[in-house]
Amino acid sequence: MSDVNSEAPTVALMDQLPDASIQGQSPLFHADLATVAKKGPKTGGVVFKEQALMGQITLRLNAENAEQLKAAEKVLGVSLPTQPLTSVESGDVSVRWISPDEWLIIVPGLKAFDVESALHAALSGHYQVVNVSGGWTVFMLSGKNARDVLQKSAPVDVHPAAFPVGKVVTTVFAKSSAIIRRAGDDQYELVVRRSFADYLWLWLQDASREYGLVVEA
Amino acid sequence: MFYIYCPYCGEHREEEEFHNHGQAHIERPKDPDSCTDEEWGNYMFFRKNPKGLHHEIWVHAAGCRKFFNVTRHTVTYEIKEVYKMGEQPKVVAE
């Protein structure tokens, strides 16, 4: 496919974090998870942890364009997963397959602007890189009953036979939506919209009640 | 409930994740300025309502957000075939 623009367009880039010393607030800031973790139970079937203030970057390009794939790999240190519903992880960078031409990259929040800039510098042709860090937050669910909570909340099959470690699905989650990745044997990562973070935090507390919910800060 | 195969994700998902977008393979008149009102009206407003096989567009709205085509039997609700955009159906009404 030929590229729409033969000339490289100028992309306006803005660092959303002007100063690392300015304290950011995660969408669950008001829930004061540190206090909840301190006062709450220490053992239970489900462990909840918010990975606050991560950096999320949406990357769209043509998966059949070897040049673009190579450029993205050079920046990220890992090759983009082109197999549907897979993810890769290397150090503090993780990449999720979202669609045949779309990936979600998660890096530590303070690194997001560097990765975003590097992707813009490396890629050429018809592509899109958007720093969507403000729009999402990441929940980690673990423990022996974490899978039971997912089964109550989402219509996808999360049985280990159908949901191996590393698999990613974007799906309906408790009438909202989430990008669910199996990060480990009993460990699931939920990337959720920040506007739904509070609702899903309440939902997860309710859904985990019968197994015992442990909150980690 | 339908259990729909998404040709882009490569697996079956619940109907809850999808939206129907109506009849597939509607061709826009090549030259709208010189087509008749009837041709334009047919393109714009008239849709099939068959008792039997129907080709329709679905979108994996909560998943990969890609559009694709489904051939469905409107009486039995059986999904006969799922195929990507730009492809032609193999299962067609006689």
Chain A 175-194, CB below 8 Å of chain B: which residues?
Answer: 177
A54-133 CATH pick, 3.40.50.2000, 3.20.20.70, 3.40.1590.10, 3.30.70.1520: 3.30.70.1520
Flag if A84 and B8 touch (Cβ within 8 Å). yes
Sign of dihedral through CA atoms A119, A120, A121, A122?
positive
Q: Which residues of chain A does B14 touch, with a Cβ-Cβ cutoff of 8 Å? A: 155-156, 172
Confidence of residue A4 (pLDDT cuts 50, 70, 90): low
State the amino acid at position B67 in one-letter form. F
Count of C-beta atoms within a 10 Å radius of residue A188: 21
Q: How many Cβ pairs closer than 8 A exist between chain A and B?
A: 37
In CATH terms, the fold of domain A29-51+138-216 is Gyrase A; domain 2 (3.30.1360)
Q: Which of A65-69, B59-63, B90-94 has the lowest mean pLDDT?
A: B90-94
Whether chain A has a CB inside 8 Å of the CB on B81: the answer is no
Going by DSSP bridges, is the β-strand pair A46-51/A213-216 parallel, antiparallel, or unpaired?
Answer: parallel
All CATH 3.30.1360.120 domain ranges in chain A, comma separated: 29-51+138-216
Rounded (to 5) percent helix, strand, coil in chain A: 30, 30, 40
> Domain segments of chain B: what residues?
3-84
CB neighbour list of residue A90: distance below 8 Å, 6 or more residues apart? A76, A77, A78
- Decide: helix, strand or coil at residue A193: strand
Flag if A171 and B13 touch (Cβ within 8 Å). yes
B3-84 CATH pick, 3.40.50.2300, 1.10.10.10, 3.30.2270.10, 3.40.50.450: 3.30.2270.10
Distance CA B13, CA B35 (A): 41
Q: How far is B58 from chain A (nearest CA, A)?
A: 15
Residue B55 has pLDDT above 60, yes or no: yes
Q: Which residues of chain B does A84 touch, with a Cβ-Cβ cutoff of 8 Å? A: 8-11, 64
Residue A11 has pLDDT above 90, yes or no: no
All CATH 3.30.70.1520 domain ranges in chain A, comma separated: 54-133
pLDDT at A51: 96
Residue B1 has pLDDT above 80, yes or no: yes
